[in-house]
Amino acid sequence: MSLDWLTWLFSPQMPGGTIAVLLISMGISFLNAGVYRLLITKMVGWKEYRKLQNELKKLQNEFRQILRSKDQEALEKFEKKRRRMLQIQARIMKPQGYLFILGFSYILVWWFFLIPTYGAAPLAVIPGFMELSVVWWYFLCSALFGTLSYRVFGIIVEEEEEK
């Protein structure tokens, strides 16, 4: 009797399968955000990462304005700053490179666990629109919890209004 809930959770039908895939995607999203935050802290440093993000955002905005103005002289003057912009991007992207490698393990979770367990059976329904298979349901849950987990861990930079 104690394994009845586990059997229900991994049954290839609603609502057990729906909840299981939701929990799996939530767990993977929070694990992913936690690992990313740890990589940022170890490789760049959290305060330095924030400072670099803000500097990069300012440089990108300046670069966009110069491109829009089509001012060749300003573009030439910006060249040194552009090199700095590329250096910042490379430094910020380093933790993301490691995270990209980790992302392949999620494909293994799909391929060897989720798809064989739940198959093509619908796991969720958007009323009046469509039924979602495990792949689409996982994608939606992952997008939701990915955004939420990045906000919880403070990885997404909020837009600051300049006065």
Domains of the chain by residue range: 12-152
**Mean pLDDT: which of 11-15, 89-93, 152-156 is highest?**
89-93
Which pLDDT value is given to residue 161?
A: 39
The whole-model pTM stands at 0.74
Which pLDDT value is given to residue 119?
A: 83
Element (H, E) at 94: helix 79-109
Q: State yes or no: cis peptide before 15, omega within 30 of 0.
A: yes
How far is Cα 93 from Cα 74, in angstroms, rounded to an integer?
Answer: 27
Cβ atoms of 157 and 56 closer than 8 Å: no
Summarize pLDDT for 63-79 with one digit per residue, the tens. 999 889 888 888 888 88
Which pLDDT value is given to residue 163?
A: 36
Summarize pLDDT for 13-45 with one digit per residue, the tens. 678 888 888 999 999 999 999 999 999 999 988
